[in-house]
Structures are given as C-alpha cells and as structure tokens.
Amino acid sequence: MDLLRVKIWRGGESGGFATYDVPRQGDQTVLDVVTYIQRQLEPSLAYRFACRVGMCGSCAMTVNGVARWTCRTHVAKVEIDGGLEIAPLRNLPVIKDLVADMREFFGKWKKARGHFVATATRRDEFARISPETPQRKAADAAIECIGCGVCYASCDTVSWNPEYLGPAALNRAWTLFNDVRDGARAERLQDVAGDAGCQGCHTHLSCGERCPKRLQPTAAIAGLKRATALAAMRGKL
Amino acid sequence: MRNDLRSRNHRCFWAFLVHRVSGVALSVFLPLHFWVLGQALEGAGRLESFLRWTDHPLVKLSEIGLVLLLAAHLSGGLRLLLLEFRPWPAAPRWQQGALALTAGVSAAFGLLFALNVL
Ligand code: SF4
Ligand code: SF4
Ligand code: FES
C-alpha cells in the first residue's frame, strides 16, 4: 500500500512533531489525512473543521510550512516526497495540537469596527446601490472573506508587531468603508489609522499570495491608507 | 510560532526583500560617496589618487553593482507607489507584471552602465 509519512504537531506551544503513516488515496485532501489519523490512529488528536467545502474558514493549518485551508487542499498538490508536515496556524497561540486560539484574530476584527452599523430601520425603503459604483465594486472585490486566518498567519507584520490589526480585519473594514449604508465610516477610519492599523502594512503581499479566496487584502489596505491620508489632510482624522 | 522561509518564498516577498536590502546597502554607501566628493574640496591631489584607485577592476565591478542597486531600489519604489496609489481590483495579475518590470528596468540600467564602464 502506498503510504504518506505525516508529521503532526502534538501538544501546546511547546510540543513536537509525531509521525504517522496514512494510506494514500486519490483526490485525498489534507483534512482527509488529519481525519484519518484522528479516527484510526490517534483519537486524542485535536483539530478543527466544519463545512469541508471551503465555506466556514475553520480548517486552516500550516501545511509544509505554508498556511492553507486544508479541506480544499489536495495532498497531491502539497506533499513533498510523500511527506506532509501539518502544524497549527502561525502568529496565534496554540491551544492543543492543530487548534490555534483565534481570539486575537477575531478580537482585532472588533477593534477595526468590522461590523455593519445600520442607519435605516425596517420601515425605511430598501437602499438602492448600483453594482456599478466604484465604491460597491471595491467592496465586492473584498467581500468574500471566510475568516480563515490564513492571511493573518502568513503576515510578517503581525509577527513583528503584535498590535497590528492584520490583513483580514483591515480588509473587512475596507468593505464597510465602501458601504454607503453604514453609519460609522468616519469612526472606523479612525480605528484603522496608525501603526497598528493600515499604515503598519509593509506591502509584502503574503496575505494575497496565500488567501484561499484569492482576495487581495493589500489592495484594501492601500485603499485605507489613501482614505486615512485624505481624511487627515481635511482635518477629519 | 513564526513563519519560516517556506512561507515567505513567493515573488512579492522577494521583491520586498530586494527593495529592503538595496535600500540598506545604499544608505551605507551614500555617506561614503559624499565623503569622496568631500575629498575633492580638500585638494585635487587626494582626489586624483582616489580616482586612480577607482580604475581598479574590482572597484569597477562594485560600481556596476551599485548602479544595479540604485536601479533596483528605484524601480522597486515605483512598484510600491503603483501598489499604494493605484486602486486595484480583486485578484489582479498586474502586480506580477510590475514585478517583472522592476527586475527588467534594473537589469537594463545595470547593463547600460556596465557597457559604458567597461
Ligand atoms: S501586505 Fe500588509 S497585511 Fe499583507 S502580508 Fe504584507 S504586511 Fe501583512
Ligand atoms: S482575507 Fe482570505 S486568507 Fe484572510 S481570512 Fe479572509 S479568506 Fe482567509
Ligand atoms: S472545513 Fe470549512 S473551510 Fe475548510
């Protein structure tokens, strides 16, 4: 039988890799491999997943050194000489095995005011937003984020500055900044300005390189940089 | 835990690295450059002997390297300006073009200079 040699991170922050042999199958995903190990070889292995079809964003791990969504990553695409090394996402505390603590990640979405602030009530007319406006186009280009944390785990600026809000939160802020129905656009701009915000980005483009949804948080961040600079020049920051 | 080179190994990160390294190298070189110019103010003799030193092939070679550095840093800077100031839509491939342009322009500068010097 054709076997994969799989090294899996066990333990918390200070753990180590354990090796398992997993039978290879056609069209096997990395998540299939982890599930096989948990079901057949190591019942105590902790990992996260939910949808298995690339929608929920919960299955991200570091596979052979690179952050990926594991449910839609085929083994054949990432294995090196029949070997896989699977670790929890970088730049986040490790809870156990492959489970990273996402609290910082989502906490920063909050800090970046990553929620919609409604201005209308149910008694108002529907807002009519043309999909052709530049603002809507900018928001649409960045809206498909599934909150997987792959960009955040790949960003060196996050490693260098623990306060940095990171690509996903800033990308989210950008979609809301471009939503004309939102009632807190000026305040949000203040939240994302500064060294821990959009100005902290070093334009490595690691986020866009790794994002499984092929978003470009760097483009969103560049937009926020322009918007904050403009607001500052007008004395509104 | 932090990322290692496996995660950083992609085109755009290399572009960032070239820009950073060339910037640091230039900031080390520029004070030297001005110091040499300062020699000219202090006396023609000292500059003369220095200029003779620059005829040395090794010095010539490093001059070519220097122009390459300048060209790389300049075109890398242009690339950054493009990325920062030109609104770009989702999943563009054009920034890779910008990257190629960066490399091309710096190589061209380097070559031009090399041909002139040699
Ligand atoms: S472009 Fe900015 S947000 Fe994206 S990885 Fe680089 S520093 Fe992080
Ligand atoms: S921007 Fe992409 S990589 Fe980052 S959290 Fe959203 S989907 Fe994941
Ligand atoms: S399990 Fe939902 S995105 Fe992978």
pLDDT in tens, B42-91: 777 777 777 777 777 777 777 778 888 888 898 888 888 888 887 775 44
Average pLDDT, rounded, for chain B: 79
Of the CATH numbers 1.10.10.10, 3.90.550.10, 1.10.357.10, 1.10.1060.10, which one belongs to the domain with range A103-233? 1.10.1060.10
| ipTM given for this complex | 0.81
Pocket test for ligand 1, best of A150, A161, A201 (most atoms within 8 A of CB): A201
**Whether residue A175 has its Cβ less than 6 Å from ligand 2:** no
Rounded Cα distance between A100 and A35, Å, is 17
- The tokens for A149 are 């944390």
Does residue B73 sit within a domain?
yes
* Cβ(A160)–Cβ(A204) below 8 Å: no
pLDDT at B94: 64
Percent of chain A scoring above 90 in pLDDT: 97
Does residue B50 sit within a domain?
no
Pick the closest to residue A89 from A39, A32, A48 (CA basis): A48
pLDDT at B20: 93
Interface of A with B (CB under 8 A): 13, 62, 64-67, 87-88, 90-91, 94, 134, 137-138, 140-142, 153-154, 156, 159, 202-206, 208-210, 214-216, 218-219, 222-223, 225-226
Does residue B102 sit within a domain?
yes
The pair phi, psi for residue A68, each rounded to 5°, is -150, 160
Best residue in B3, B17, B18 for a mutation probing chain A (most A CBs within 10 Å):
B3
Nearest to A203 among B2, B83, B87 (CB): B83
- Residue ranges, comma separated, of all CATH 3.10.20.30 domains in chain A are 3-100
pLDDT at B38: 76
pLDDT at A75: 97
Does residue B81 sit within a domain?
yes
- Residue ranges, comma separated, of all CATH 1.10.1060.10 domains in chain A are 103-233
pLDDT digits (tens, 9 = 90+) for A165-186: 999 999 999 999 999 999 999 9
CA angle B80, A203, A236 (to 5 degrees): 85
CATH code 3.40.50.300 for A3-100: no
H or E segment and range at residue A223: helix A217-233
pLDDT at A237: 83
pLDDT at B29: 84
Pick out chain A residues at pLDDT < 70.
none
pLDDT at residue B92 greater than cutoff 70: no
Long-range Cβ contacts of A180-187 (<8 Å, 24+ apart): A180/A127, A180/A129, A180/A135, A181/A116, A181/A118, A181/A119, A181/A120, A181/A127, A181/A129, A182/A116, A182/A117, A182/A119, A183/A117, A183/A118, A183/A119, A184/A113, A184/A117, A186/A231, A186/A236, A187/A113
**Residue nearest ligand 3's atom 1 by CA:** A52
3 state DSSP class of A119: coil
| Neighbour order of strands in the sheet with A60-63 | A16-23, A3-10, A83-87, A60-63, A66-69
